């Protein structure tokens, strides 16, 4: 049996926050605003996995009304999903993701992000794709107001 899931997330850039993406702290004058660490890429990946399993979304799993998730490490939240009994028996075939941002430039950090995800999912590094693009100055991402990410996942049982 196979399942496909897709996820999308967006967070606003603000001063005074760390910029965490794919579990990696990236040097930047601004960080992403959110209830957790606001790791937009990991949130998109989580939604893709949860969606493939038909189990709702990250807001259902980790509501922003719950203070126990305040400033939570999104990689730790992803590990909770992977360790849930409803994920047992499923394996990641591949994840394809795209980060949409004018800044910061993330290409140098992608290998570290991929290593983190391969560890969480116990897959070969070739099963994880992380791409980056800009919007050529258009829209909120183009104006440097925020960062968006989307992810697709293929699961097999």
Mean pLDDT of 102-115: 95
Which residues, other chains included, contact 154 with Cβ-Cβ below 8 Å and sequence gap of 6+?
Answer: 2, 3, 4, 52, 92, 93, 94, 95
Does residue 144 register a pLDDT over 90? no
Q: Model-level pTM?
A: 0.96
The C-alpha atoms of residue 3 and residue 34 are separated, in whole angstroms, by 29
Residue ranges making up the domain that contains 38: 2-156
- At 84, list the tokens: 């849930």
Q: What is the CATH number of the domain that holds 68?
A: 3.30.1330.50
- Helix, coil or strand: residue 19: strand
The C-alpha atoms of residue 25 and residue 109 are separated, in whole angstroms, by 9
CB 7 within 8 A of CB 45: yes
CB 69 within 8 A of CB 77: yes
- At 79, list the tokens: 């590990």
- pLDDT above 90 covers what percent of the chain? 93
The average confidence (pLDDT) of the chain is 96
- Dump pLDDT digits (tens) for 29-68: 999 999 999 999 999 999 999 999 999 999 999 999 999 9
Q: What is the pLDDT of residue 138?
A: 86
- Dump pLDDT digits (tens) for 114-129: 999 999 999 999 999 9
Please give the tally of structural domains in the chain.
Answer: 1
In this structure, the number of other CB atoms found within 10 A of the CB of residue 85 comes to: 6
Question: Which sign, positive or negative, has the C-alpha torsion 109, 102, 35, 131?
Answer: negative
């Amino acid at each position: 049996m196979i399942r496909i899931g897709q996820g999308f997330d967006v967070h606003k850039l603000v001063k005074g926050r760390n910029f965490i993406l794919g579990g990696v702290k990236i040097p930047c004058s601004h960080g992403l605003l959110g209830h957790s660490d606001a790791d937009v890429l990991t949130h998109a990946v989580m939604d893709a996995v949860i969606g493939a399993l038909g189990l709702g979304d990250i807001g259902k799993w980790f509501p922003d009304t719950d203070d126990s998730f305040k400033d939570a490490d999104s990689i730790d939240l992803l590990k909770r999903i992977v360790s849930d009994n409803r994920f047992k028996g499923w394996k990641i075939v591949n994840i394809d993701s795209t980060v949409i941002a004018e800044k910061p430039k993330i290409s140098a950090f992608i290998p570290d992000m991929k290593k983190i995800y391969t560890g969480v999912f116990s897959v070969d590094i070739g099963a994880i794709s992380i791409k980056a693009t800009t919007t050529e100055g258009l829209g909120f991402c183009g104006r440097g107001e925020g960062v968006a990410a989307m992810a697709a996942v293929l699961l097999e049982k």
